[in-house]
Structure 1
Amino acid sequence: MDDQNKNLILATVLSFAVIVAWTTLFPPEDLPVDPATETVQLLEDPTLPASDAAAPTAMTPTDAAEAPAEAPRVPIETDELSGSISLLGGRIDDLALTQYRETIDENAPIVRLLKPVGEAGAYFASFGWTATDGIDASAVPGPDTVWTLENGETLTPTTPVTITWDNGAGQIFRTEISVDDAYMFSFAQSVENTTSTPVSARPYGILRRHGEPADLKNFFILHEGMVRMTDGELEETGYDDITEYAVDPRERTQAERLDVASSGWIGYTDHYWMTTLIPEQGVPFRSTSKYFDVRDLYQVEAVMPIETVAAGETATVTTRLFAGAKEWEEIRHYQDEEGVDGFLDSIDWGWFFFLTKPIFALLHYLNIVIGNMGWSILALTVILKILVLPLAYKSYVSMAKMKELQPEMEKLKERAGDDKQAMQQGMMKLYKDNKVNPAAGCLPILLQIPIFFSLYKVIFVTIELRHAPWIGWIRDLSAPDPSSFLNLFGLLPFAAPEPGSILALIFIGILPILLGVSMWLQQKLNPAPTDPTQQMIFAWMPWVFMFMLGHFASGLVLYWIANNVITFIQQYAIMRSHGAKPDVFGNIKASIKKKAAEDAKKEGK
């Protein structure tokens, strides 16, 4: 077995093993947090918000707060959003993303992000106050307070609205709500103290979700659940892990995950959508994640420092709420232009973030220029191949030199016979004398592993690939090729198998077949190995990969096809320039004749 083939087999098997491991094993683990320890640290610093164990009850769900209630609503109308705000608790509990539909069907329903209590999958944001000094707990607004609309009629990017609540004890609470032209809301919470004595209260924001999302993917390559930034440290906790810190509202046990930060945010992230509470950056706040087991409620909170309001004075605290699609350009704008610390990390870039971030940025800019994600993926493939060309060039030159050494290798095998040590020593001397690196042949393949995974992550996670068309039948590059050999790629009058079904995995589409053919042709740059085991591996490898990657996103398969074609051209040209003459058609004919001879031999037996 020559070393060139050994290296190629080793690299291929390693690639396959890593792909399988990546899709079946090693989910990222969330580090456990000791709630008791964090509570102690919290209470030791009087400048930071205290634990809920001591004060707020408004943030704990009650029957009144969770029962569906009729209350006036304030419409929300922007180019990106539609919905309404309920004056019950001042909740944003009705929000749809007007630019996104649930499927690629142009008549499909638009995506609903937030839903009111009483509907399946209720999910809302609410803002209020908790009582501290000089004010009774019943005299502060909470999630079930009925507010009054004071100013405005419809919330738009140019017309904010103000809601108010008078507690009848000398304090008037107001919340001015505004929204930009994308997905960011601002809540300016104020309390006016009309009494002759100072009062203190603490503002908060909550996100409350009834049960897990219905479309939860449960795919470890994608994080869904709580996401939090705490002074530059990102924490991602899945729904299963959140339930370990359950809160029983009847016992008021505080088994919660909490942290204190001077900058950051906390919220819930789905595959493509996110809701996030963003307190004023640079001001200490406490972020908490809870799960109420009795009601199956997930809740995150951002609790700000105590505001002491002197007699006749007004205090105001502003908290922002991001509720929308995880569009890279918008989220980067909020981070870089509006000071939301580390907000770009709310997109799940994965372990290879140092590759996924620049790869997506390049893909994004290519799409701006080209205007089509499919062609942008092809352009990205060309650029990546150019960047790794120096390494590929050395590799292919080494492979060409090894081909030139084939006659010498055969002679060496004859002389060494069964003496493996002599054979090994002779090979090393041969490589050294001719300045050949036998390991160079597998470097381009090994280099493809992190690039492949990074692009896989980009295509799977980023919303910019969602429902992005390419040509003809490829209308969604984030989904598998919808064509199928079963109906002759649309020629027969019946539909292709549903994606994910057994038939869809067997009767694959056009792109997976092109992938297998491109890998097979790339193999034919070199003669088939003489070793029977190698022959079997090489014979089956393209078709195994064809079926294995057939149900992957079309964008990823498109990249792999383009990569194979460019690699074929590069390797052919470089080997020709160094005297090696790959006989592709001759190798194909030889493999066919060899197969026919083997079949005839079996029949003769």
Structure 2
Amino acid sequence: MDDQNRNLIFATVLSFLVILGWMFFFPPEQPVRDTTADNVAADADLAVADLPPSARVAGETVPDAPAAEVEAPRIPIDTPALAGSISLNGGRIDDLSLKRYRETLDPDSPIVDLLSPVGGGQPYYALFGWAPGGSLEFDDVPGANTPWRLVEGEELGVNRPVTLEWENGAGLTFRRVISVDDDYMFTIDQTVENRSGAAVRMAPYGTVARHGEPDTTGFFILHEGVVRMSDGELQELDYDDLPDLTADAREGAPADVIEVAGDGWVGFTDKYWMTTLVPGAGSAFTSVAKYVPRSDVYQTEARLPTMEIGDGQTATTTMQLFAGAKEWESILAYQNQGVDRFVDSIDWGWFFFLTKPIFVVLHWLNLAIGNMGWSIIVLTLCIKALLFPLAYKSYVSMAKMKELQPEMEKLKERAGDDRQKLQQEMMQLYKKEKVNPASGCLPILLQIPIFFSLYKVIFVTLELRHAPWIGWIRDLSAPDPSSILNLFGLLPWGVPDPSSFFAIVSLGVLPIFLGISMWLQQKLNPAPTDPTQQMIFAWMPWVFMFMLGNFASGLVLYWIANNTITFSQQYIIMRSQGYKPDVLGNILRGFKREKKEAK
């Protein structure tokens, strides 16, 4: 077995093993059973009722909890990006939909729902209030079920804030001003005026709560659950992690509590959407992630320091709430406005040093070209241009290896069965001719982290969701919808569900082109004489074709473009070095050999 073919087999088998390991550790997404319908909260023991006592001052109590939804007036929300309403029962932001996004590609499909009130199938909401301290009781401060009244404004919109008010009957007047920008950031200003005749103590807080474990993608590559930034340190907690934290709480650890000195945020992230509490830049607060087992509620909290308000004084506190789509440009704009490292709320993964720049370039290309599919192809050209110096050395080395084939055959004849002598003489020949037999592997090895990083970008970033390319490819984040089983739509029957096992044989146009492009690239070199090598090379393109058939179309498109450019580069460079690849001859000889073997 010559070294060139050994290197090619090594690189190919390594790539195959990496892909196989990827499929094993990151299996295709599976539907997750909806458990929230079993956990609709109907008692008064929910959400913030279980705030742990950490960071309280002596004598403080905890706020009350949202009971089952009652009939209460609502304030409409209408902005270019959002639609929904705020309940005057607790002043909860619990009804929110995203106008710019639909559930499916069908233009008549419903817009995406983000937040929903208690009493529905999947309660998910944000609420704000004050935790009583000192001599105050629950009834003295606003909480989850406070009956607010609207005193200013009729509809929440851009430059149209609304003001809520509540008096406790004991000299304390609370006001809440809610405003929203033209994207996804709410600002909540809470004010308390003290006319009680004595100083009072209380602590403002914000809470985001989810009843029951939500539907998730169920894909290991993607984080869905708690995401938070605490003084520059990012933390991600899966939903499965939170019950374990509660178990620790029974032994004295009050959930997962972090004291943030200056900058941070905390909330829940889905694949494309996020709901996050953002205290003001430079504000110290207590960041809490927890699970309430008796009511099956997952929640995050941002608790601001306790305030003392003297008689006749007024105190105001501000907190923001991001509730919307993880659009890179919007999140970056909020980061530039002071939300510390907000772009890290997007799950860039372990290869963040590659995924971030790859996405930025892809996003810029999409803005310039106007089509994400063509942008992926241009991005491939850019990546190949960056790797061209290595590719050039590799292909020059391969061409020289081909020129040395007659000399290598003579060495094999002289060495006979003495493999040690053969290896020594080959190494002397490589050194004399300045040929590196391992250089052919390097470009392929460098492609592996780039491949994974691009897959991460295509899978997790919102900008690829429902992004069309040409014709039948209307969503580059989803597999090719065409299928060879119905002749790509010419026959009247359907195809297997993408989540079923039989979907692996339901190959679309792009996966087939992928297999062909790998096969042609393979034929650029003369077929090896060793039968084992022949078998590996013969099957590898088609194995990859089936394995990648259910990957995102954008990733398959990248691989096809990469194979095509690699083929062109290798052909031109090898010809420039005096070696003329006989691609057509290799194909014809391969057919003849296969026909002969069949007889």
The aligned residue for residue 517 of structure 2 is: 518
Mapped contact 2:78–2:84 kept (Cα < 8 A): yes
Deviation at 1:566, TM superposition (A): 0.3
Equivalent residue number for residue 11 of structure 1: 11
Partner of residue 507, structure 2: 508
CA deviation digits over 1:482-525, x for unaligned, max 9? 00001101111233333223332102100000000000000001
Say whether the 8 Å CA contact 1:505–1:550 is kept in structure 2: yes
Q: Which residue of 2 aligns with 1:231?
A: 231
Could you report, residue by residue, the CA deviation over 1:412-446 in whole angstroms, capped at 9, with x for unpaired residues? 11111111100110111011000011110011100
> Do 2:26 and 2:221's aligned partners in 1 also have CA atoms closer than 8 Å?
no
Who is 2:288 aligned against? Answer: 288
Q: Is the 8 A contact 1:482 1:499 kept in 2?
A: no
2:438 is paired with a residue whose SS is helix
CA contact (8 A) 1:183 1:322 kept: yes
- Match of residue 372 from structure 1: 371
Tell me how far apart the structure 1 counterparts of residues 450 and 551 of structure 2 sit (CA, whole Å). 16
Structure 1 match to 2:43 = none
Counterpart in 2 of 1:305?
305
**Which moved further from structure 2: 289-298 or 544-553?**
289-298
Q: Cα distance, 1:56 vs. partner?
A: 4.2
Contact 2:56 2:306 in 1 (8 A): no
Distance, in Å, in 2 between the alignment partners of 1:53 and 1:476 is 56
Does the 8 Å CA contact 1:247/1:253 hold for their aligned counterparts?
no
Aligned partner (choices 47, 57, 64) of residue 62 of structure 2: 57
1:70 equivalent in alignment to 2:71: yes
* Corresponding residue of 1:210: 211
What SS does the corresponding residue of 2:498 show, helix, strand or coil?
Answer: coil
Q: Which residue of 2 aligns with 1:107?
A: 108
Q: Which letter maps to 1:269?
A: T
Listed one character per residue, the Cα deviations across residues 261-292 of structure 1 (whole Å, up to 9, x for unaligned) are 12110000001100000011212100101101
Quote the residue 2:347 is aligned against.
Answer: 348
Query: Which residue of structure 1 lines up, in the alignment, with residue 385 of structure 2?
Result: 386
Deviation at 1:134, TM superposition (A): 4.7
Unaligned runs of 5+ in 1: 28-41, 44-48, 601-605
Matched residue, 1:143:
144
Amino acid corresponding to residue 534 of structure 2 in structure 1:
Q
Residue 539 of structure 1: aligned partner: 538
- The alpha-carbon distance between structure 1 residues 247 and 431, as it changes in their structure 2 partners (threshold 3 A), is closer
Query: Is 2:162 the counterpart of 1:161?
Result: yes
CA distance in 1, matches of 2:295, 2:159: 39
% same residue: 64
Matched residues in 2 for 1:587 and 1:169: separation?
92
| Cα distance change of structure 1 residues 112 and 5 upon mapping to structure 2, 3 Å threshold | same
1:484-495 pair list within 5 angstroms: 484-495=483-494
Cα distance in structure 2, aligned partners of 1:496 and 1:477: 19
How high is the TM-score relative to the length of structure 1?
Answer: 0.92
- For residues 207 and 457 of structure 1, do their structure 2 counterparts lie closer, same or farther at Cα, with a shift above 3 Å needed? same
3-state SS in 2 of match to 1:438: coil
- CA offset at residue 196 of structure 1? 3.1
Residues 467-493 of structure 1: CA deviation (Å, up to 9, x unaligned): 111111001000000000011011112
Deviation at 1:9, TM superposition (A): 1.3
- Note the C-alpha offset of 1:54: 7.2
Aligned partner of 1:127 in structure 2 is: 128
AA in 2 matched with 1:84: S
**What SS does the corresponding residue of 1:204 show, helix, strand or coil?**
strand
CA pair 248-434 structure 1, distance change in 2 beyond 3 A: closer
How big is the shift at 1:306? 1.1
Per-residue deviation, 1:379: 0.9
User: Aligned partners of 1:159, 1:172: CA distance in 2, in Å?
Assistant: 23
Contact 1:247 1:293 in 2 (8 A): no
Partner of 1:329: 329
Code of the residue aligned with 1:50 in structure 2: it is A
- Structure 1's 95 and 363: CA in aligned 2 closer, same or farther, altered over 3 A? same
Partner amino acid for 1:430? L
Is residue 59–residue 135 contact of structure 2 (8 Å, CA) maintained in 1?
no
Q: Match of 1:299, as an amino acid?
A: Q
* Displacement after TM superposition at 1:304 (Å): 0.3
* Deviation of the 1:53 alpha carbon: 10
User: CA contact under 8 A between 1:490 and 1:496: conserved in structure 2?
Assistant: no
Quick one: distance in 2 between partners of 1:439 and 1:248? 53
**What is the alpha-carbon distance in structure 2 between the residues aligned to residue 429 and residue 399 of structure 1?**
17
Cα distance in structure 2, aligned partners of 1:57 and 1:348: 34
Work out the CA distance in 2 between the residues paired with 1:206 and 1:219: 27
- 3-state DSSP class of the match of 2:85? strand
* Paired AA for residue 62 in structure 2: T
- In the TM superposition, residue 6 of structure 1 has moved relative to its aligned partner by 1.2
Residue pair 1:247, 1:290 contacting (<8 A) in 2 also: no
After TM superposition, give the deviation of residue 253 of structure 1 in Å: 7.3
Deviation at 1:531, TM superposition (A): 1.3
Aligned-partner Cα distance in 1 for 2:310–2:57: 24
1:137-163 Cα deviation digits (max 9, x unpaired): 320111111111111100001100011
Give, in whole Å, the separation in 1 of the partners of 2:210 and 2:341. 24
- Kept after mapping to 1: 8 A contact 2:524/2:583: yes
Residue 530 (structure 1) shift: 1.2
The alignment partner of 1:245 has SS state of helix
Distance 1:24 1:503 in 2: 17
CA–CA separation in structure 2 for the residues paired with 1:321 and 1:463: 20
Is the Cα contact below 8 Å between 1:469 and 1:476 reproduced in 2? Answer: yes
Which residue identity is paired with 1:400? A
Alignment length (residue pairs): 574
- Give TM-score scaled by structure 2 length: 0.93
Letter in structure 2 aligned against 1:93: D
- 8 Å CA contact 1:53–1:254 kept in 2: the answer is no
1:20 aligned counterpart, secondary structure: helix
Q: What CA distance in whole angstroms lies between the structure 2 residues aligned with 1:535 and 1:263?
A: 60
Structure 1 residues 527 and 94: alpha-carbon distance in aligned structure 2, compared to 1, 3 A threshold: same
Aligned counterparts of 2:525 and 2:58: Cα–Cα separation in 1: 71
Shift of 1:247: 7.2
Deviations 1:352-384 (A, max 9, x none): 000000000000010001111111111111111
String of CA shifts for 1:230-268, please: whole Å, max 9, x gaps.
Answer: 11111001111112123799x997641110112110000
Determine if contact 2:75/2:156 at 8 Å carries over to the other structure. yes
Instruction: Report the Cα distance in structure 2 between the residues aligned to 1:584 and 1:51, rounded to whole angstroms.
Output: 76
**How far does residue 52 in structure 1 lie from its aligned partner after superposition?**
9.5
- Deviation for aligned residue 1:313: 1.5
| Structure-1 separation of matches of 2:205 and 2:61 | 10
Structure 2 unmatched runs, 5+? 28-51
Q: Does 1:272 align with 2:272?
A: yes
Cα distance between partner residues in 2 of 1:447 and 1:548: 21
Distance 1:26 1:455 in 2: 15
Q: Is the 8 A contact 1:367 1:376 kept in 2?
A: yes
1:187-213 Cα offsets, whole Å, 9 max, x none, are 011111123322121000000101121
